[in-house]
Amino acid sequence: MTLLHERRRFLLSLAAGVAMSQAPFALARAQSRRASLASTPLPGGLILISGAGGNVVVGHDGEGALMVDGGTADRARDLEMLVLRETGVKRVHTLINTHWHPEQTGSNERLGKAGAKIIAHENTRLWLTVSNPLVGQSGTYGPLPAAARPNATTYANGSLRLGADQVDYGYLLQAHTDGDLYVHFRQANLLVAGDVVCNDGWPVIDWRTGGWIGGMVDGLTKLIALSDATTRIVPGRGPLLTRSDLEVQRTQYATIFERLEALLRQGKGPDEALAENPTKEFNAEQGDPTQFVTLAFESMWGHYAPNA
């Protein structure tokens, strides 16, 4: 049984007790934001830390710790202390941002001021130099101070050594944003996907900073190609996944993309697309699709010129 199937069973049992409305999911999200930090051992001596706003993966070598994503700023101090305690090292020498969102870049200022190398896609650095609206929340994020901005950016991919492991990172093009990086711990066979993969309800497509539904499908295709049957995949939110879980997600998003594209070509708008219920067979598992369908539909506008 895959992890996705386990999650589906859990959600179905939840659905049996309550009406399928947004309320239980919104409540669950609010509770997870207040959750205390929890660490879970991963293969290869890596650690998963949850409860910081988004999943954080930690590795270390003789020089210190490496973190993939840094949670929200209000958890940065507690997170760093937990990382140092769990790894037994004195400092975090490297932080990789999978993208610009506050749930991933909240430790940038603290670790950047302490001298950490902050690796990200160049587009992530650029978004962090300005103020951006938050998706599905009120308010804006950024600009971050100079010390908090990525100081080792890439346009494509890169690689570094961490003890005995090789850590590759690479660009997922325009998917969740236009600055998404995956991080692949080769020896541990662990793939960190950022928010291009979600295992906690529908994903968010931040089209205002370059994400789009077609890119989410392509991003999943790339992540599947990087995985084998034993690869563990860390999503931006929620429990770990397997390659077969990603294959299920890719089929799901590709199906929805195809339906939305057809509706767009008929001249429909987001509300009309929602009325067609293009996610009908997935809603019991994923929850209320309103935000997802709206963002996914709007995300196509920049990719389809009139009469294309």
Binding site for Zn ion (CB under 5 A): 101, 195
Q: How far apart are CA 48 and CA 190, in angstroms?
A: 11
State the minimum distance, in angstroms, from the CB of residue 13 to Zn ion. 28
Q: Which of 165, 180 has the CB closer to Zn ion?
A: 180
Backbone angles phi, psi at 157, to 5 degrees: -155, 175
Residue in 190, 166, 199, 201 with CA at minimum distance from that of residue 27: 201
Q: Which of 104, 227 has the CB closer to Zn ion?
A: 104
- Look up residue 7 and give its amino acid: R
Q: How far apart are CA 92 and CA 47, in angstroms?
A: 14
Q: Which of 93, 101 has the CB closer to Zn ion?
A: 101
State the minimum distance, in angstroms, from the CB of residue 222 to Zn ion. 17
Q: Is 192:99 a contact under the CB 8 Å cutoff?
A: no
Q: Which of 188, 220 has the CB closer to Zn ion?
A: 220
Q: Which of 195, 200 has the CB closer to Zn ion?
A: 195
State the minimum distance, in angstroms, from the CB of residue 67 to Zn ion. 16
Q: Is 110:85 a contact under the CB 8 Å cutoff?
A: no
Q: Where are the alpha helices (DSSP H) in the chain?
A: 3-17, 22-34, 76-87, 102-105, 108-113, 122-127, 213-226, 243-265, 270-275, 283-286, 290-300
Residue in 67, 129, 138 with CA at minimum distance from that of residue 100: 129
Q: How far apart are CA 131 and CA 78, in angstroms?
A: 26
3-state secondary structure 13-24: HHHHHCCCCHHH
Residues 6+ apart with CB under 8 A from 222: 170, 172, 182
Q: Which of 45, 287 has the CB closer to Zn ion?
A: 287
State the minimum distance, in angstroms, from the CB of residue 275 to Zn ion. 28
Q: Which of 75, 101 has the CB closer to Zn ion?
A: 101
Cβ atoms within 10 Å, residue 117: 16
Q: How far apart are CA 176 and CA 215, in angstroms?
A: 8
Q: Which of 75, 93 has the CB closer to Zn ion?
A: 75
State the minimum distance, in angstroms, from the CB of residue 54 to Zn ion. 7
Tokens of 251: 């089929």
State the minimum distance, in angstroms, from the CB of residue 292 to Zn ion. 14
Q: Which of 186, 208 has the CB closer to Zn ion?
A: 208
State the minimum distance, in angstroms, from the CB of residue 238 to Zn ion. 13
Q: What count of Cα atoms within 13 Å lies in the side-chain half-sphere of residue 284?
A: 9
State the minimum distance, in angstroms, from the CB of residue 102 to Zn ion. 9
Task: Write the burial class of residue 280 (CB in 10 Å: 0-12 exposed, 13-18 middle, 19+ buried).
Answer: exposed
State the minimum distance, in angstroms, from the CB of residue 195 to Zn ion. 3
Backbone angles phi, psi at 187, to 5 degrees: -70, -40
